[in-house]
C-alpha cells in the first residue's frame, strides 16, 4: 500500500495531556474566585454603587452613612436641613389627623375644616369650633408657639375633641417636619398631621 501508516502516540502522552487540562481548569476556577465582589456583582447583573457615589460631602444635599458591613439594606440617607420659615411663611394647612398619648385619630367627617395659617410671625387657627391665633418664632426645625388665644364658643363633642388635640400640641416648642405635601408638628407625645390646603 502506498498510504502512510498513522503514527501511534506514545501511551505516556495522554496522562500528561490530562494533567495539563486539570491544572488549566484549576487556574481558571482560582481566577474566578479571586475576582472582586464588584466584578462578580456586575457579572451577575446586579446594580452596584461606585465609590464616588458612596462618598458624599457633609455639606451636600444628601449625606449617606453606612454600617461597617456595607449592604444596600444598611445604607441610611439623610436629607439636608430645610428652611422651615421659607416653607411656612404665607402657607395654609388643613388638619388631617392627630396623635396623643391615648390614641391616634383622623379628623371626623361632618365638622368644619380645621386649618392653620402662618403669616408674619402669627399662626391663625381654626379648631373646627373656635378660632384664634398665637405668635410664633422659628429656630432651625423648631417652631415655638406663644399662648394660643381662642374664642370661647361651645363645641359639639367631635369638634371639641379636635380642638383639644390642637391646643395640647400648639403649646410651646414643637418640632416641624415635612413629607410630600404633609406637615407634621410634634410636641412630646403629641402630633398634628396637616395637609397642604388646596381649597383655592
Domain boundaries, the chain: 13-79, 84-196
For the domain bounded by 84-196, which CATH number is listed?
Answer: 2.40.128.270
Closest to 174 measured CA to CA, from 139, 199, 150, 198: 139
Q: Beta strands of the chain (E only): which ranges?
A: 62-65, 76-79, 92-99, 104-106, 115-119, 122-126, 131-139, 142-145, 149-150, 172-179, 182-187, 190-196
Report pLDDT for 200: 56
Angstrom distance (rounded) from CA 193 to CA 169: 11
- Tens-digit pLDDT profile for residues 177-188: 999 889 999 999
Reported residue count of the chain is 200
pLDDT digits (tens, 9 = 90+) for 124-134: 999 999 999 99
Per the CB < 8 A criterion, the answer to whether 90 and 100 are in contact is: no
In this predicted structure, the answer to whether residue 112 has a pLDDT above a threshold of 60 is: yes
Q: E strands, 100-189, where? A: 104-106, 115-119, 122-126, 131-139, 142-145, 149-150, 172-179, 182-187
pLDDT per residue as tens digits for the range 25-34 = 555 445 444 4
pLDDT value, residue 50: 29
Q: What is the pLDDT of residue 23?
A: 62
**Is residue 63 scored above 90 in pLDDT?**
no
Q: What is the pTM of this model?
A: 0.60
Tens digits of per-residue pLDDT, 113-123? Answer: 999 999 999 99
Amino acid at each position: 500500500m502506498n498510504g502512510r501508516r498513522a503514527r501511534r502516540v506514545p501511551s505516556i502522552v495522554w496522562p500528561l495531556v490530562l494533567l495539563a487540562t486539570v491544572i488549566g481548569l484549576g487556574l481558571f476556577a482560582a481566577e474566578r474566585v479571586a475576582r472582586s465582589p464588584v466584578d462578580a456583582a456586575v457579572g451577575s447583573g446586579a446594580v452596584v454603587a461606585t465609590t464616588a457615589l458612596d462618598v458624599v460631602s457633609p455639606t451636600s444635599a444628601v449625606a449617606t452613612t453606612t454600617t461597617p458591613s456595607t449592604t444596600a439594606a444598611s445604607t441610611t440617607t439623610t436629607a439636608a436641613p430645610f428652611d422651615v420659615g421659607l416653607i411656612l411663611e404665607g402657607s395654609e394647612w388643613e388638619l388631617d389627623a392627630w396623635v396623643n398619648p391615648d390614641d391616634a385619630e383622623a379628623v371626623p367627617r361632618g365638622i368644619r375644616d380645621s386649618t392653620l395659617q402662618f403669616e408674619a410671625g402669627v399662626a391663625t387657627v381654626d379648631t373646627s369650633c373656635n378660632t384664634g391665633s398665637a405668635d410664633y418664632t422659628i429656630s432651625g426645625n423648631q417652631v415655638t408657639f406663644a399662648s394660643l388665644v381662642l374664642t370661647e364658643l361651645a363645641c359639639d363633642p367631635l369638634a371639641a375633641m379636635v380642638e383639644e388635640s390642637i391646643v395640647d400640641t400648639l403649646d410651646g416648642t414643637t418640632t416641624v417636619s415635612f413629607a410630600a405635601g404633609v406637615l407634621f408638628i410634634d410636641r412630646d407625645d403629641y402630633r398634628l398631621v396637616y395637609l397642604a390646603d388646596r381649597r383655592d
